Amino acid sequence: MRSRSVHVVIRATALLIVGLIASVAGCTEASTAREACIAGAVRTRACGACDTGVEIFTCSNDGTSELSIPCTGEDENLPIDPRTSALVCEHFENPMVFIAPHPDDETIGMAGAIREGLGQGRAVFIELMTHGEMSKVHEKLNDGGKDSWHTGTHHYKLTTQEFGDARVREFFEAAVRLGVTGVHVHGFKNGGLTPDDVASTIQYWVKRSTNLDGVTALSLRGTAGAQDPQDQKGLPHPDHKAVWDALAASELPDVQGYCIYNYTQNKSTPDQTYDISPWCADKRAALESYKVWNPDAGRFAVGEHSVHDLLAKAGSECHEFIVYPPDPGAP
C-alpha cells in the first residue's frame, strides 16, 4: 500500500482543505429536497478533492426528492504545493518526478536537473520516501557539544518523530526554493526502503501520466545505486540503491539516476557529468535550507550537521553526475 505520511502541519492543512471541499460538494448521504425530478432518474456530479470523486443522485418514484449516495472513487492522495499546502489537481500530463530517499538528496544531487526541468515548462514533482529519521545527528543534538557555526549547545532531546519532522521542514523549504510543482512525503522506514516501496510510487505516476492511447509521458529521476558508493568500503546506501533498482526495473524510456556522494568520495562511476552552471545559484540557495539553525522554530540544521562537506562541495561544483539504466538489449 502506498504510504501517505506527511509532515503534521502540512497534512493537517491538506485534510482541512479536503474537508472543506467535500462539505461544499455535499458528499454525505442525505435526502435532498427539489422542486421536481424525473421519477427514477439518475444523475451524477463531481465532488471531493479536486473533483476526483462522483456523487450519485437518484430521483424518488414519486418525483419529489432525490437520494444522494456519497462520493466514490475519490483520489485523496494528491501532491501538495509546498508553497501553499494546497492540493495539486492537475499537471500530470508530462511530469518529471524526482525520487529522493532522504531529505537533502533531492538538492545535493538533483537540484540542477529540477531547475532545468522547470525552465523547460515541465511540471516537476518530488517524492520524498523517508523522513531520514535514522541519521546520527539525532544523537548529536543531545550530546552537550557545540559547533563554531551556530549558537548554543546540543541539549535537544527529540523523539524520533520530532527529529524526522525537523528534517522534513528542511526539505519543504528546499522544495519551495527550488520552485517545484508539488511533493509527496512518505513514511517508509529510513534504512529499510525497498524497491517495492519505490515501485508503488512509480506506478502511481505511470497511471496518471498515461494517455488514452496507452502512451506514458513521464520522466523519472532518482538516486543512483551501486554506481555511487557511500563510503570507503565501496557500498551504496541501501535506500539509494532501492530507489535505483526500482527505477531501472521500471523499463520506462526516460529514466536517470544521480550520484550524491561523488562530490566528496570521488568513487562514483557516472555515465555523464552534466554542467548545471545556469542553475548553480539556484542550487546553492536551496542547499541553504539545510543549514538553518533556529531550535525555537524546530530547525536544527540537520543537513549541515550531517554532511557539511557534501553540502559545500555540491554548492561549489556546478555539475551533476548522471547514470543510465543498462540497455536491455545489451549482451
- Whether residues 32 and 172 fall in one domain: no
Question: Are 200 and 310 within one domain?
Answer: yes
- If asked whether residues 62 and 129 sit together in one domain, one would say no
Q: Are residues 61 and 100 in the same domain?
A: no
> Is the pLDDT assigned to residue 13 strictly greater than 60?
no
Residue 127 lies in a domain: yes
pLDDT at 133 over 80: yes
Per-residue pLDDT, 328: 66
pLDDT digits (tens, 9 = 90+) for 189-222: 999 999 999 999 999 999 888 876 777 889 999 9
**Residue 152, amino acid:** G
CA distance 135 to 153: 19
Domain shared by 189 and 40, yes or no? no
Q: What is the pTM of this model?
A: 0.83
**Same domain for 224 and 171:** yes
**Beta strand 96-100 pairing with 124-130:** parallel
- Tell me phi and psi for residue 70, to 5 degrees: -60, 165
Q: How many domains does the chain have?
A: 2
Which structural domain range is residue 33 located in?
A: 8-72
Please give the pLDDT value at position 330. Answer: 59
Q: Are 77 and 50 in contact (CB under 8 A)?
A: no
Q: Are 251 and 302 within one domain?
A: yes
d(CA 24, CA 247): 40
On whether the CB atoms of residues 132 and 65 are closer than 8 A, the answer is no
Rounded distance, CA 264 to CA 234, Å? 13
pLDDT at residue 35, rounded to an integer: 57
Q: What is the pLDDT of residue 8?
A: 36
- 2 within a domain of the structure (yes/no): no
Percent of the chain with pLDDT over 70: 88
Contacts of 15 (CB under 8 A, 6+ apart): none
